[in-house]
Amino acid sequence: MSNPSVPTTSYPYRPDYAVPPGETLRDRLAEMNLSQAELAARTGLSTKHINQIVQGIAPLTPDTAIALERVTGVPAHIWNRRESDYRDSLIRQHRRTLDTEDRKWLASLPIKELQRRGRLPMNVDQTRLFDEVLAFFGVANRDAWSTVWRRPIASFRRSTAYRSDPGAVIAWLRIAQLDSHHIAAAPYSAIAFRKTLRQVRALTRRGDINEMVTICAEAGVVVVFVPEVAGCRISGATWWAGPTRAIIALSDRWKKDDRFWFSFFHEAAHVLLHSKKETYVDDGSEDDLLEREADRFAAAHLISPTDARLLPTLNTKPDVIDFAERIGVSPGIVVGRLQHDGLWPWNRGNDLKNGLRIIEG
């Protein structure tokens, strides 16, 4: 019985040997009691050429496929497909051996975790694994990977607080990108999204994060939840998949609702305020102008500046609960703000925060 909590991924069957279409032709000739010489006469080809096709030496051309269809009754498209599969198999069998840089690249990525999540196949040799990793990232080679995937984290790496593993960050971003493809969304509307933020804020009290996906998609913003990849240390990320489709990816890095909701509103700021040409990756650092602006946006949307003036008056947990109910957010968000502002120590009030864990489906 399969475990429904474990994702399954199908991989194309790739035999480790090449079968020429001539094998099929030899079998068909035997069924028809037809010799290679007689086939040559019927197709107008030389006996030598027919023999070379049977051995896989000479390629089976589209013209020859049509001739074989007329003589053997096997459709030309089947002969063409067999020839294509055979040539593809030959190329794969004779691909270059992995060099030191190839192996270093594989070692820089969270291969075992991607396998555990069903994103890469298990129990394959290094050469096959190399090909599967390229396919996972949607690139043809390592140079293309560097061009496509190193650039999105370039600005993130300027942070003096950067301590994440680049390979883990990129793997997490790719999972988020792949998962976002399956979510339909209306064309982006800044006006609609600003209204959506008020609805999302109300969700913090009910704790239903899945409803957020639906209401954000109606405003043209795709929200995906991706469990943190070990070594990633990312709270969220934002990018544009087109001029009318924004993506917000959120992780469960901190495992608490206050951080999760703050991360969402932080990423929402990038959507509303910042360039559509950049990928914004958030590790919680505050040494970047745009990140500080996003932090201020998130803080003000969760607890307005007017309400924030009352935070120093909250001395007990009942005070926090009453205040949170009055302003319409979860108590955990209030505790997180008190801790961040230095009004409460980091070990106080944590029992008012809700735990949160993303399950990859």
Q: pLDDT tens across 321-355, in order?
A: 999 999 999 999 999 999 999 999 999 999 999 88
Q: Enumerate the β-bridge partners of residue 245.
A: 242
pLDDT band at 6 (very low <50, low <70, confident <90, very high): very low
Of 315, 312, 313, nearest in space to 341 by CA: 312
Query: Are 60 and 79 within 8 A, CB to CB?
Result: yes
**What per-residue confidence (pLDDT) applies to 360?**
66
- The vertex-192 CA angle with 188 and 198, nearest 5°, equals 130
Supply 90's token pair.
């030959």
Dump pLDDT digits (tens) for 79-108: 999 888 888 877 776 666 888 999 999 999
Q: Distance between CA atoms of 204 and 335, rounded to whole angstroms?
A: 13
Of 124, 119, 72, 59, nearest in space to 98 by CA: 124
- Residue 2 pLDDT > 90: no
222 DSSP 8-state letter: E
**What global pTM score does this model have?**
0.76
Residue 331: burial class (beta carbons within 10 Å; 0-12, 13-18, 19+): buried
Dihedral-angle region of residue 349 (phi above 0 means left; psi in -120 to 50 means alpha; beta otherwise): left
pLDDT band at 314 (very low <50, low <70, confident <90, very high): very high
> Which residue's structure tokens are 């959506």?
196
- Residue 30 pLDDT > 80: yes
Q: Buried b / exposed e across 15-43, counting CB within 10 Å, b at 16+?
A: eeebebbbebbeebbeeeeeebeebbeeb
Domain borders along the chain are 21-93, 100-164, 169-302
pLDDT band at 291 (very low <50, low <70, confident <90, very high): confident
Dump pLDDT digits (tens) for 154-206: 445 334 444 678 899 999 999 999 999 999 999 999 999 999 999 999 999 87
Tell me which of 293 and 361 has the higher pLDDT.
Answer: 293
349 DSSP 8-state letter: S
CATH of domain 21-93: 1.10.260.40
